[in-house]
Amino acid sequence: MNFIVGLVIAIGCMLGGFAALGGHLEVLMQPFEFVIIGGSSLGIFVVANPLSTIKDCGKAIVEAILDKGPKARNFLDVLSVLHALMRELKGKSRSEVENHFENPKESEIFKAFPNLLADKDLVTFICDYCRLIIIGNARTHEIEALMDEEIQTLTYDRFKPVHALNAVADGLPALGIVAAVLGIIHAMGALDQSPELLGGLIGAALVGTFAGIFLSYAVMSPVASKIKVVRQKQLRQFVLIKQTLLAFMNGAMPQVAVEFGRKTIPAKERPTIDTVENETISGGAPSGGAEAPLKAAA
């Protein structure tokens, strides 16, 4: 919601200020200037990025507009699943717990949290490292180094839309100048016309410069920044998993290990110790329910 509100404020103040100065808003309606700028930007964007990144940019923009970063409920789900899995690892044999990681979609632990189960990357991350814990040959510092490498790779992949859109934002002012130059060339071909017509053509050309700069700094750059914020919050879940499992591997009890993970949650989404304890002891609540623990966290 704040994304839409901010965009409305920016556009409203820009148009309102222009109108208050005595400008005529219809002068800004130069569709072919926007076609030159928008079409050139889109073409360059398609040339510079593989299809997978283009698709991810669409997904990332939707996430940014809807603020799809993980909330307190999502972090509680991860902590609850980890606590349940660590209890299984501590109290049961390898053959009894292995099915949780081999087929998480059929695991009663994962099935209790459908939102988490729907995140393939998170589930794979949890299952892969729990398998390494079961094997028992890997040392904690080796697992930590491997986790850091994987999180770094995930960060690189998740931030591809940020870099792609920032590149478009950087090019938009120059493309605005290109549109303006083409408009001036058009105006130069009409020097024998009336001053009113010539002035209109020059004004239309300058709209290209304005549009390129405005779209760059007031639209594309803020979108890229919002995507980065949302994706950073998503990556905190992987750090949470890392710290929790490392604490467990170092000998911490499951209830203590989840406290290591809780401390990595951003402050505004971080549940209280009591909330986490109630969630884990009760076995957690299915995603989308149990509002009471969240009120306690607030």
Q: Domain residues of the chain, as ranges? A: 72-158+231-297
The model's pTM: 0.84
pLDDT digit string, tens, across residues 231-251? 999 999 999 999 999 999 999
- Spell out, as residue ranges, where the chain has pLDDT lower than 70: 282-298
Question: CA 105, CA 197: separation in Å to the nearest integer?
Answer: 68
- Is residue 202 within 8 A of residue 33, CB to CB? The reply is no
The tokens for 20 are 């208050």
pLDDT at residue 296, as a whole number = 37
Question: CA 188, CA 138: separation in Å to the nearest integer?
Answer: 73
**Per residue in 210-244, is it b (16+ CB within 10 Å) or e — as a string?**
bbbebbbeebbbbbbebbbebbebbbbbbebbbbb
Nearest to 187 by CA among 207, 205, 166: 205
How many Cα atoms occupy the beta-carbon half-sphere of 158 within 13 Å? Answer: 22
pLDDT at residue 288, as a whole number = 43
